[in-house]
Amino acid sequence: MSETPVPVSTTRRPRLWLLLLVALALGVRVIAIHTQPLWFDEGYSFWVSTEPTAMLLELTSLDIHPPLYYLTLQGWMTVLGVGVWQARILSVFVAVLSVPLFYQLARHLSSERVARFAVMLLAVAPLHVYYAQEVRMYALLTLLVVALLLAWQRRAWGWMGVFGGLALLTHYYAAWLLLGLGLLLAWQWRRGGEWRGPARAFATAAALFLPWALYSGVRLIDYVSDKVEIESDRPLSLAAFVERHLISWSIGHRTLGSEWILWGIPLLVGLAVVGAWWHWRQRRGAILWLFAVVALAAFLINLRTPFVDLRIERQLLYLLPLFLILVSEGLDRITRRWRHALPVLGGMLLVVMSVALWRFYVVPRYVGEDYRPILAMVGAQQGPSDAYLAIYPWQIGYLRAYLPDRRPEEILLSPATEEEASASDAEVEALLAGHDRLWFPAYQVRGRLFEQELVRSLNRVAMPVWNEWMGNTRLYLYGATPPDLPALAPLGEWSQMGQAHAVLGGEDAASGSGVVPVFFQVATPVEGARASVQLVAKDEVWGEWDRALQPGVNRAGLGVPPGTPPGRYEVRLRLYDEASTTPYDLLQDGQLAPFATLGAVTIQRPGTPLPAEALQQVAGEPVDVSFGQSLRLLGYDLEERAWQQGDRVPVTLYWQVLARAAGPLTLTIQALDQEDTPRAVLEVPLDNGMWQAGDLIRDTHTLWLPPELAAGEYQ
């Protein structure tokens, strides 16, 4: 492992090619930075970094990652603001900064030509680009390791100690690199090398890290022991460990459908083997030694405390620069012997990197785990007294990341273990205290015991509004049960189900964020019966709650959809057969009716106007068209099917009122033929006299198709 001095140029002329390469590195790392959603660990980063500093330190003392990255991210977002782009651009920044530093390091560890090859590869390395767009500490750790190794090569012992301590405070796996360096320097000292400088470096690193180690050491040991028991991962075999890391260092994380570019892995690995052989032959084995120590330590940890997931290779991202130096050394050796091989090998490497990067940009990750649609709905339709219940800290992190400016009150309720998962009705009632509505994203992939228990309790004590599958999460919305609820009143006899009782639990609700409570029951529910509670005006249904009919008292939280105009509405209850959709008749005062009218409610404007996105989310076809200074069309519903002459085509328009119109407005809807000639026309005055700035309005109309209308396609 003796080190032959490598001549290093000391010229300080600006290197235009290096600046261009840094610009390329920046470009490939900011492309599509918003494309992929956050995943669990990134949500955790947001949660920790948006807590007060004292709590941040407390939380990281109970985690497997030290606090420096989280503190850096906290300070970064204090300046730039909280958000996905702001957080990811920190990783971009430190990743791009690694490129020119790595060039200097490669020159010290090898030669100018090898350094140029290596820095070109790092600029477009898929694994490095991957973690340059992730809100985690791996890009920062890689930068600190490159800086640490450069300080070691330059014998800047003070800086080596500083970077070593910072690396340890960023990721505990930095310890294995320091171990390798310590053994290497000790071996060199026994052969007459310097010892005071290295000793000062390691003392500095220890002094920086020791306070944190004393604070968190015992907690970390307990946390790791518990995590190993809970996760119950099986360790990777040596072959699997080596294979997964070589694939990741070469083309990035392996993804479904990427098998056809695996041919590029033997190319990079083969070049790395040639480079390793050359380093060994030249008695320059520092890279090989550090590689061996770090990889062996990581493998042994994998055997003792296995944490295995699809992207666990991120733990050794900081070895990627050393791997690329070996690849570049191999490329240099081969192309010096066979000069004409450079265009061939260089072109092949370019193709491999380009294809891997293309897949990085276009292949969706975390399918089923994307919370952007969930939180877009919560953000657009939240009310002033809503709360957001989370079981996992990353769900809180997602909330803060995607809704940094305005969001419901967050409630984190995590059981210590699945065995302790329980939620009493009293605890759930306490959660609902002071909140009109409760959003609950129930993640459905893991144990789900706590989620299921919570849902049961919520169904007993709250008003179920709706639930919807969104990926691997089931998003529930509940309303608060009104106090002083009157007793259920008799409705009459429902055919096949006997006596029915019901009560309307409220007299008014806000448009878009209100819930109308309804309680009802029938004597003997029949199998396959469903209940529909509807909000009706002029025989048009504006909102509906629909569930399977349950024995006993049924709770219905009839949500008032965005765009429901202020006014007076009836609340109706109908029961029907799920298979045939045939309604069951209700006998009231000797008369049969397909539904029961429970009473009337007044829909009011919300205290705070909802954003336009709330209406665009419910529109079949979202658009964004402004009509003067008064109205903005947000979307429409128009069923595309084969209509017949004489049909009445329902058209629903979704408006945002920008300003009170000076006078009445007229709406024209036309069906145009291929020559843009109107063949069916509806012209009606808009009922905008009561519309106010900020209102969201769902506006329904019917276009009549004349009997003489010719067959064909119409716009």
> Concatenated DSSP letters for 38-104?
P-HHHHHHHHHHTS-HHHHHHHHTTSSS-SHHHHHHHHHHHHH-SSHHHHHHHHHHHHHHHHHHHHH
Structure-derived torsion over alpha carbons of residues 538, 542, 458, 523, reported in degrees to the nearest 10: 40
pLDDT in tens, 215-264: 988 877 777 777 767 667 789 999 999 999 999 999 998 877 667 778 88
Residue 9 has pLDDT above 50, yes or no: no
- Looking at residue 10, its pLDDT comes to 45
pLDDT in tens, 448-492: 888 898 999 999 999 999 999 999 999 999 999 988 888 999 999
Phi, psi of 444 (to 5 degrees): -110, 10
pLDDT in tens, 514-537: 999 999 999 999 999 999 999 999
Nearest to 529 by CA among 545, 555, 546, 548: 548
Say which amino acid occupies 363. V
Structure-derived torsion over alpha carbons of residues 465, 479, 608, 687, reported in degrees to the nearest 10: 40
Between CA 496 and CA 536 the distance in angstroms is 26
- Looking at residue 486, its pLDDT comes to 83
Distances (CA, A) of 639 to 20, 226, 434, 448, 705: 53, 55, 41, 39, 14
310 band by pLDDT with thresholds 50, 70 and 90: confident
Average of per-residue pLDDT values in the chain: 91
422 band by pLDDT with thresholds 50, 70 and 90: low
Long-range contacts of 120-124 (CB under 8 A, 24+ apart): 120/21, 121/324, 121/327, 121/328, 121/349, 121/353, 122/25, 122/98, 122/320, 122/321, 122/324, 123/21, 123/22, 123/24, 123/25, 123/28, 123/99, 124/24, 124/25, 124/28, 124/353, 124/354, 124/357
190 band by pLDDT with thresholds 50, 70 and 90: confident
Nearest to 456 by CA among 420, 485, 424: 424
CA angle 252, 254, 258 (to 5 degrees): 105
Phi-psi label, residue 184: left if phi above 0, alpha if psi -120 to 50, beta otherwise = alpha
- pTM strictly above 0.85: yes
Between CA 509 and CA 604 the distance in angstroms is 6
**For residue 473, what are its two tokens?**
């999460």
pLDDT in tens, 370-383: 999 999 999 999 99
- Looking at residue 5, its pLDDT comes to 43
Query: Which percentage of the chain shows pLDDT scores above 70?
Result: 96
| First-to-final CA distance of the chain | 78
130 band by pLDDT with thresholds 50, 70 and 90: very high
> Could you give the residue ranges of the DSSP H alpha helices within 590-708?
612-616
Sorted by sequence, the CB contacts under 8 Å of residue 331 that are 6+ apart come out as 117, 271, 275, 342, 345, 346, 349
- Looking at residue 423, its pLDDT comes to 66
Nearest to 247 by CA among 141, 126, 164, 153: 126
Between CA 469 and CA 472 the distance in angstroms is 7
CB of 627 within 8 A of CB of 598?
no
Between CA 366 and CA 602 the distance in angstroms is 43
Distances (CA, A) of 516 to 1, 74, 457, 532: 77, 42, 20, 13
Residue with tokens 């570049």: 328
CB of 283 within 8 A of CB of 371?
no
- Looking at residue 225, its pLDDT comes to 73
CB of 251 within 8 A of CB of 265?
yes
- Looking at residue 480, its pLDDT comes to 93
